[in-house]
Structure formats: C-alpha cells, structure tokens
Structure 1
Amino acid sequence: MNKEKIHITKPDDRESVIVILARNGYTVRQGREKDHGTGKTVAFVEYWSSEDEKNG
C-alpha cells in the first residue's frame, strides 16, 4: 500500500481535497505532525487507493 501526503495549511482547502479524494475512491485521513525543519506543527491529508487495501 502506497500512502501519499499533502501538506495543506487552510482548513477549507483540506476539506475540499478530502472530499475530492474520497469521491474518487481513495481512503483518506487528516492529521498533524511536527515539521522537521521549522519545528512547527503542520496539517496534512494522507491518502491511498482503496484498491490497494483489497489486493494486499
């Protein structure tokens, strides 16, 4: 399973991306993590193909 992350600052933009990905068959989650460079907390959207889950 190949998970991808997109770092998105604006909450409304994150919501839009989540909806688009979910409607196109991806499993989606959002979270926060520390940026290694700045030490600040950044938000992200992580997604992966639902087909990957079924196949393996």
Structure 2
Amino acid sequence: MHVARDRSGRRRVSEIAMLRRADRQVRVATVWHADRGVADEITELRRLLSNRDAA
C-alpha cells in the first residue's frame, strides 16, 4: 500500500500492490492505482485471497 499527499496536502491511498516471486526475484505488481483504477493483476490477488478463505 502506498500513501501519498494530494494537492491539498491530505494523505490518501494512491496505490495497492502485491509482491510476486519469479526466478528467485521479487517484483511489485500494482493491483489498484488511484488515478488508473484496477489493474490486470487484480485477478491474481483475488485468486490468492479466495484460496486463503478456503483454508
């Protein structure tokens, strides 16, 4: 989760991301952005959360 200040100085959530592991490296994948909305990676996040609820 990334928090930033808007033009008026108020803090707001600007981005939500998740960490993805690939080839012994970790990368950040944005799932939601305040200006752009939902990203394609949201599907993977929903799958991961769904699997967690089933346990």
Same fold (TM over 0.5): no
Task: Name the structure with the higher strand share.
Answer: 2
More helix by share: 1
How high is the TM-score relative to the length of structure 2? 0.29
Tell me: higher relative CO, structure 1 or 2? Use CA pairs within 8 A at least 6 residues apart: 1
Using the size of structure 1 for normalisation, the TM-score is: 0.28
